[in-house]
Structure 1
Amino acid sequence: MIGFGVRLAVAGGREAAVRLVVTAAAVALGVGLLLATLAGINAVNAQNARYAWLNSASPEATAGVPPSPDPLWATLGYERYEGRTITRVDVAATGPRSPVPPGIPRPPGPGEYYASPALTALLRTAPPDRLGDRYPGRRIGTIGPAALPSPDSLYVIAGASAAELSRAPGAAKVTAIATRTPSSCSSCNVGTNANGIDLILSVTAAALLFPVLIFIGTVTRLVATRREQRFAAMRLVGATPRQISLVAAVESSVAAVAGTAGGFGLFFLLRTRLTALPLTGERFYAADLSLNPLQIALAAVGVPIGAMIAARLALRRVRISPLGVSRRVTPRPPRAYRLIPLVAGVAELAYFVGRRPDTTNGQIWAYLTGIFLMMGGLVVAGPWLTMAGSRVVARYARRPATLIAGRRLADDPKAGYRAVSGLVLALFVTSTAVGVINTMVAEEGLPESDAAARGTLVAEYSHGWTRTPGVPRASVSVSDQVLARLRSIPGVRGVMLIHTNPLGTTLSLGGPRPMVAGLMSCRELAGVPHFGRCAAGADVASVPPDYVFDSERLPGTDWPAAALSSSRARRLPVQTVVVGTDGSASAVERARTVLTAAFPHREPAATVGEMRANTDTARLLRGYERLADVVIVVSLCIAGCALAASVVGGLNERKRPFSLLRLTGVRLSTLGRAVVLESAVPLLANAVVATGAGFLAAGLFLRSQLDYPLHPPGIGFTATVVAGLAVSLGVIAATLPLLRRITGPETARNE
């Protein structure tokens, strides 16, 4: 029987070949998406592991690693160049056995540095006064991939003397190189929250695989009627139910095995291109997108086994009675209890609002369970919603096509919903993804900066403003040479120095405690008008610590006068340097380079716009936005394919009644309108529920996981949904030419 099943699968004529190819293609798509998602989770964790060494100053991160007898002094800072972040690590070895960062053979000495391949290429093309002058000395090598999260990472490891670096603000004595990933280290400040991204990818996998499963089921049903009739005939000539089940399982397994192989081929073919999808904000190395043996076995063995089980379940009517395949009766109408799974999913997600699980695995199971319940609930509740819509249509029908469509939907709402189920789930996935991403963008940053904020450079050297008067603060001494170099840069309009305040003057902007203000010259302030203006007649003004974040008030603010002359203020240490430019990249980067070279091992200068934005958050949000786009596009494409397959399958199953209707005088155009309405009514009835359920799921997830209220999307989402529905109706209309070919008089005669 196994050989007979294989023969039916591959040598059963044109129909068998089409069935095999279409089913294998559906399985290949599903397996490819599954492998891509699993590889994406592995890539996130592999990339995150290469951030570990940057947390070597944390005792928790180096726990269990033998300490070196010669410590390594190190500082970690982040510079910027034309919107890109450069990670700078300054190191100073204290002996021959000092720890060595990964990716380099030895720590660099004073006047030496290593650069990553991407930064090396950038240094070759960028003018030295805009970038290269920040790293005096000579490059002695390239940082290897072991220390770089991404091929695009801009990293530099610069050498210094131990005496110099030990006095730098924020310098740490490193005795071992950390290998513990940031996800498992509570005190690690550098790296990606891979646990959170794993959660997002797990939800994404569910969001993508559900439409794929619907697609596979739809393709299987495309020829279900013909297969059932063939198996029923085999039963009537003496085949046992076990033999029929074995033949069906073998026939389905052939397509599943071929599709699984195709899925692996699709994944490895596109793996290089998948590296360009920066889920974490940075693209992956190709080797990061790998699969472990368990994942390979799960896909290679689990998918064919699942296909065999599905085949056995699909033949339950043949096992009960072979004549039942031909003697079909009107199924019972769906009941309202079909809404229970959908309601249960909502209740499950609502339960965890205020009760978020502590562990990432607990959160994954909690939210995946709710999402799966809601998606399954939409599938279960769809026929009931379709029946309700069909009864409304039939009640108010005024034309034959409307009456035919309404009555046929009411007679078999399951079949009507089955045609649009993939698209309904795609709308649920889309609304959920858009709701989550839109809210995260609104709550967590990506602020828009005005031109003045983008062109105003701030170098903060106080290492944190103090709240206590009289407590000394970190500061620098700005020489006349440095000021002259800054003012000579084309595009620089003014340079302002903010000095430490010996008067102990405090300013409060509504915080819990006043903070010690800085002092600035009103004459210098005139060259940086974005920072407001002095009170009338003032020579020196006081400025609060968080002035750079007050984007709305700054330009029109009158800063209070300080009881100090400008000549005395100029002799005070400097805690902040502010450079006003015309906003050009050349002026900003040249001024940044001057400040970096003049004050090494200090906090790098940044524009007001860069300081307002959380760089890591912005990077992750951009990755999530790209992920949402992928989910939306892939879900809609899969749903469109499933819709086309469903409509074609429905036409094939109903070609005899449609042929009889044409013989009785019904016009082909009337049948075409009836076919469109049979898909449009369940689509529109369920689309409203699916979209609302998607936003509800997003709102409950956001409230539970992040304590954010849902921010509804703008007009763009509505336009996307309307366009998607219009395209879906176009897909249905594209199948109508088939109606003429399959409803001729010969069909009624041959059937």
Structure 2
Amino acid sequence: MIRLGLRLALASGREAAVRLTIITVAVAFGVGLLLATVAGVNGVGSQNSRYAWLSTGNSEVASADASSVDPLWWLLRNDYFHGENIGRVDVAATGPRAPIPPGLPRLPGPGEFYASPALSALLRATPAAELGNRFPGRQIGTIGPSALPSPDSLLVIVGHGPDELSKHPGAEQVTSIMSADSDCAGCSLGVRGAGMTLLLSVVAAGLLFPVLMFIGTATRLSAARREQRFAAMRLVGATPRQISMIAAVESAVAAVAGTVVGFGLFLLFRPALAEIPFTGTPFFPDDLSLGVVDVLLVALGVPVAAVVTARLALRRVRISPLGVSRRVTPSPPRAWRLIPLALGIAELVFFVGRRPATTNGQSAAYLSGILLIMVGLVVAGPWLTMLGSRVMAGRATRPATLIAGRRLADNPQAGFRAVSGLMLALFVTSVATGVITTIVAERGAPRAGSTFSSSLAKTFWPEERVAGQPEPQVDAALAELRAIPGVRDATLVHESPDLGLASAGDRSMPALISCAELARLATFGGCPAGTEVAGVYPDLIAPRDMSQDPMVWPAAAVSAESLRQLPVVSIVAQTDGTAAAIERARTALATAIPQGRFPATAGEFEADFTRTLVQWQQLANVVILASLPIAGCSLAVAVVGGLTDRKRPFSMLRLTGVPLGVLRRVVALESTVPLLVVAALATGTGFLAAHLFLTSQMHYSLRAPGISYYLIVVAGLAASLAIIASTMPLLRRITGPETARNE
């Protein structure tokens, strides 16, 4: 039987060869996308593990042999260049046995530093006054890939003497470098590993479901035609077991071939996939790897799923040799199909106000609820399709509408199967867009404007000053700043003494500025009339909930004379907004006053807080852009397969005088009605799931998405209708008189 099955699959005519080719291509495409999804999840894990060493010093990580290790002074800070983050690690060894970070052959000494390849390229291409002068000494090498989260990572490790670095605020001694397997409770690796686990679980499920539906649709191609052939074999004496074996072999051949080609497509396009920064940065190609379990699950699971699908499709043949010819109306779907969908929604409703305390608990709660809703949509789809078809048939005024409605009501499972992939894609799109839109609306995107992007603030808080460290040379820094082309002005902001301010509502400002200075810097707001000193924030930027236009800062009970005696907490430089002026001013401030944070614009600080939102938005875009094409391919395969399976009844209708235009309208209505029904259902359910998730997890209410979402949905539906329309020329070719005669 195996040999006969192989012969039927490979050498039984043109139709079999075309069917085998289509199934192989479809399965290959689905397997390639499936592997890319799994590899993407693995890639984020690999990328996060290489962030681990940067968390050294954030929590206690004991070294197994701490007594035999010389402590290492460690200071991690964040710098900027053209709005991009530069991770800077200052180190100082207290002895020859100090731990060495990954990617380095040895620790840098005083006046030496290592830079990542991307930062090394910037150093060579950028004037030293804009970047290189921030790193004292000379570069002695590059940081290896084992320490780089991404090929584009901007990292520098700067060496110092222990006496120098020990006086710097924030520096601490460590006896080991943290790794991904370190026992470090509370450490956050990379892009907040725990939160990303929850998000990636939803993303993976959102991509896997349409891919699996696509593979299932492809393996059912020409199922009705194969049923007829196998029924004929039953009539000449074949047993059900023999028929099942032949069907399994035929399906396995196409599935195995498609799986092999799918692995090849994944390996071929892996370098291009690695360039997609869906976590904010690209991957190393080797990050997109597959584990042994991943390979075995896909390599064995897809062919096994194809065989199971083939056996289920032939259940009528196994019942009786005439099971195919005895065409009776199957039992209509029952309302119980709504139960899984209702249970999924009920689970998300249950956790409103009862959010699990741990990330693992949240993953189990929300992921299982969303997956149950997706399963429920697939299960409930045929019942909803049946309702739509009955409404269409009951209100039909033309023959095409009546025929399409009756055919859909006769077999709603087949009509829904063609659009199930698109339904899941629209559901995932609605959930992702609803969640991201709401988070951005609630937390806000980085503010824009000249003040936010062109003014640099260098803060150095009094509590960060260490005994024995020289005081900031603010006068020299001001003089150097004002000599830089493009720097329009620079001013000092002073520390606010306790209870030194009149109240600003229930707020008091942590810093003070002269109203005369503030009047000169009009873009930062002004003072109340008759006031000498105002309370401000060190960067002169008001928080979002205090922003006014124009901003009037609260008056301070401090005289201008007393203000000059208070310590300076920040220097604010106002530039013309050009990249050269900003970077030269940043470098001048960083080198003149190494204490405190590195200089940054208000826009850069706010961008740090919204970086996670950007990563989530990129992940949502990946889901949307990947799931809709998958759904379109599923629809194309399903429509073509449905036409092939129904060419005999359509041919008979043409022989009885039914015009070809009527048949085309029948096919269009059979595909369009389920499409519109499931589109409305998936969109509404997706927004409901997003609202329940946001209410439970973040106490937010769903915000309406922007116009881009509606354009994506309309474009997806338009593409689906175009796919349906593209199959119409095939209807003339397969419904001629010769088809009815040959059948």
| Shift of residue 302, structure 1, vs aligned partner | 2.4
- 1:504–1:381 distance in 2 versus 1, CA, 3 Å: closer
Match of 2:488 among 476, 484, 493: 493
Q: How does 1:655-694 map to 2 (within 5 A)?
A: 655-694=647-686
- 1:370–1:122 distance in 2 versus 1, CA, 3 Å: same
Question: What is the DSSP-based 3-state SS (H/G/I as helix, E as strand, rest coil) of the residue aligned with 2:541?
Answer: helix
Deviations 1:25-84 (A, max 9, x none): 222223222222222222222222222222222453345463554212121110111011
**1:469 corresponds to:** none
- 1:503–1:210 distance in 2 versus 1, CA, 3 Å: closer
| Shift of residue 737, structure 1, vs aligned partner | 0.9
- Structure 2: distance between partners of 1:177 and 1:201: 27
**1:419 corresponds to:** 418
Q: Is 1:565 aligned with 2:560?
A: yes
Letter paired with 2:742 = N
| Shift of residue 595, structure 1, vs aligned partner | 0.5
- Structure 2: distance between partners of 1:362 and 1:544: 39
Letter paired with 1:82 = H
- Structure 2: distance between partners of 1:245 and 1:203: 37
Question: What is the DSSP-based 3-state SS (H/G/I as helix, E as strand, rest coil) of the residue aligned with 2:679?
Answer: helix
Match of 2:581 among 562, 587, 594: 587
- Contact kept, 8 Å, 1:32 with 1:263, in 2: the verdict is yes
| Shift of residue 475, structure 1, vs aligned partner | 10
- Contact kept, 8 Å, 1:478 with 1:574, in 2: the verdict is no
- Contact kept, 8 Å, 1:451 with 1:583, in 2: the verdict is yes
**1:330 corresponds to:** 329
Question: What is the DSSP-based 3-state SS (H/G/I as helix, E as strand, rest coil) of the residue aligned with 2:703?
Answer: coil
- Structure 1: distance between partners of 2:732 and 2:535: 83
Question: What is the DSSP-based 3-state SS (H/G/I as helix, E as strand, rest coil) of the residue aligned with 2:413?
Answer: helix
- 1:744–1:479 distance in 2 versus 1, CA, 3 Å: closer
| Shift of residue 400, structure 1, vs aligned partner | 2.2
Moved more, 152-161 or 56-65: 56-65
| Shift of residue 444, structure 1, vs aligned partner | 4.1
**2:18 corresponds to:** 18
- 1:189–1:650 distance in 2 versus 1, CA, 3 Å: closer
| Shift of residue 358, structure 1, vs aligned partner | 4.7
- Structure 1: distance between partners of 2:627 and 2:658: 37
- 1:369–1:509 distance in 2 versus 1, CA, 3 Å: same
**1:699 corresponds to:** 691
Letter paired with 2:93 = A
Q: How does 1:456-495 map to 2 (within 5 A)?
A: 456-462=455-461, 476-495=471-490
**2:169 corresponds to:** 169
Question: What is the DSSP-based 3-state SS (H/G/I as helix, E as strand, rest coil) of the residue aligned with 1:139?
Answer: strand
Moved more, 387-396 or 538-547: 538-547
Structure 1: which 5+ runs fail to align? 467-471
- 1:560–1:712 distance in 2 versus 1, CA, 3 Å: same
- Structure 2: distance between partners of 1:308 and 1:749: 32
How many residue pairs get aligned? The number is 740
- 1:150–1:326 distance in 2 versus 1, CA, 3 Å: same
- Structure 2: distance between partners of 1:100 and 1:664: 85
Question: What is the DSSP-based 3-state SS (H/G/I as helix, E as strand, rest coil) of the residue aligned with 1:533?
Answer: coil
Q: How does 1:363-374 map to 2 (within 5 A)?
A: 363-374=362-373
**1:273 corresponds to:** 272
Q: How does 1:192-203 map to 2 (within 5 A)?
A: 192-203=191-202
- 1:748–1:240 distance in 2 versus 1, CA, 3 Å: closer
- Structure 2: distance between partners of 1:405 and 1:726: 21
- 1:65–1:28 distance in 2 versus 1, CA, 3 Å: farther
Q: Is 1:137 aligned with 2:132?
A: no
Question: What is the DSSP-based 3-state SS (H/G/I as helix, E as strand, rest coil) of the residue aligned with 2:156?
Answer: strand
- In the superposition, the TM-score normalised over structure 2's length comes to 0.94
Letter paired with 1:556 = M
- Contact kept, 8 Å, 2:534 with 2:555, in 1: the verdict is yes
Deviations 1:128-149 (A, max 9, x none): 1111111121111111122211
Q: Is 1:529 aligned with 2:519?
A: no
Deviations 1:484-528 (A, max 9, x none): 1111222222211112245741455555xx656423223332342
Deviations 1:364-397 (A, max 9, x none): 4433332232222222222221222222222222
| Shift of residue 125, structure 1, vs aligned partner | 0.8
Letter paired with 2:515 = C
- Structure 2: distance between partners of 1:421 and 1:218: 10
Moved more, 646-655 or 136-145: 646-655
Q: How does 1:306-385 map to 2 (within 5 A)?
A: 306-385=305-384
- Structure 2: distance between partners of 1:307 and 1:317: 18
Question: What is the DSSP-based 3-state SS (H/G/I as helix, E as strand, rest coil) of the residue aligned with 2:437?
Answer: helix
Letter paired with 1:205 = A
> What's the RMSD between the two structures over aligned residues?
2.6
Match of 2:738 among 735, 739, 746: 746
Match of 2:606 among 580, 597, 612: 612
| Shift of residue 445, structure 1, vs aligned partner | 4.5
- 1:629–1:56 distance in 2 versus 1, CA, 3 Å: closer
Q: Is 1:70 aligned with 2:70?
A: yes
**1:541 corresponds to:** 534
- Contact kept, 8 Å, 1:515 with 1:544, in 2: the verdict is no
- Structure 2: distance between partners of 1:435 and 1:521: 46
- Structure 2: distance between partners of 1:336 and 1:148: 54
- 1:445–1:174 distance in 2 versus 1, CA, 3 Å: farther
Question: What is the DSSP-based 3-state SS (H/G/I as helix, E as strand, rest coil) of the residue aligned with 2:322?
Answer: helix
Match of 1:713 among 696, 705, 713: 705
**1:233 corresponds to:** 232
Letter paired with 1:684 = L
Letter paired with 2:403 = I
Letter paired with 1:497 = L
- 1:572–1:510 distance in 2 versus 1, CA, 3 Å: closer
Q: How does 1:96-107 map to 2 (within 5 A)?
A: 96-107=96-107
- Structure 1: distance between partners of 2:741 and 2:233: 24
Match of 2:568 among 568, 574, 577: 574
Match of 1:597 among 591, 596, 613: 591
Deviations 1:399-429 (A, max 9, x none): 2222222222222222222222222222112
Question: What is the DSSP-based 3-state SS (H/G/I as helix, E as strand, rest coil) of the residue aligned with 2:338?
Answer: helix
Moved more, 263-272 or 497-506: 497-506
| Shift of residue 320, structure 1, vs aligned partner | 0.8
Letter paired with 1:505 = G
- Contact kept, 8 Å, 1:65 with 1:178, in 2: the verdict is no
- 1:55–1:68 distance in 2 versus 1, CA, 3 Å: farther
- Structure 1: distance between partners of 2:65 and 2:6: 58
* Percent identical: 60
